[in-house]
Amino acid sequence: MNVMDANDMVCCPYNKTHKMLRKKLQQHILKCREIYKDEVELLVCPFNKAHLIPEPDFLQHTRTCIDRKIVAHYQQSAPAPLNEETKHEKIETEENWDDEYVPDYDPQQYVVNANIVREPNGMFPSQRKAFIKQERKRLLGEDSDEETTGSEQNMKLPTKANSTGTQRPAPYKLPNRNR
């Protein structure tokens, strides 16, 4: 029997003497529910939500429901076995980033050797003067002992560094790095 047949006749779950076309069933049930709701409780089939079963028949229906076979088929089927197309070899690699020793980036350590003009922030005036002098030596070389005013204006224009450029580390090159 083709359940999709438009002329498929079905029984009302509230009263088996009510017979109607399947497509009329939902509408019919709404009417019968008003009549029988105090006598008969309909339960929903666990295999098909369209099956409404009176409670006394429920257990029997769950044993014989045609949709039970479809569900049972999937429940009892073994999982698909792995084959060559669904497997791949374990990926081996010599790289292990956890083993590689790279020193932590220390900005204070970096600027000591970098060709960057440091700002004497948070210093007393005497400390600033000494710091600026030290920075000039660091950036321009130890031989740049010529007396300067030590002002910060001069600091920001290390003109001599452009002409000599011997003792400066290359810009952007991190110290203590092997590769």
Q: CA triplet 28, 38, 50: central angle to 5 degrees?
A: 40
Q: Residue 52: phi, psi to the nearest 5?
A: -110, 120
Binds Zn ion by CB under 5 A, chosen from 40, 45, 117, 130: 45
Binds Zn ion by CB under 5 A, chosen from 10, 15, 120, 137: 15
Binds Zn ion by CB under 5 A, chosen from 25, 42, 51, 138: 51
Which segments of the chain does DSSP mark as H helices, in order?
A: 22-36, 55-64, 66-76, 107-113, 125-140, 152-155, 159-163
Could you count the other beta carbons within 10 Å of the beta carbon of residue 59? 11
Residue 130 contacts Zn ion per CB under 5 A: no
Residue 48 contacts Zn ion per CB under 5 A: yes
Minimum gap (Å) between residue 12 Cβ and Zn ion: 3
Binds Zn ion by CB under 5 A, chosen from 10, 20, 40, 65: 65
Q: What is the CA radius of gyration of the chain?
A: 44
Would you tell me which residues interact with Zn ion (CB under 5 A)? Answer: 12, 14-15, 18, 32, 45, 47-48, 51, 65
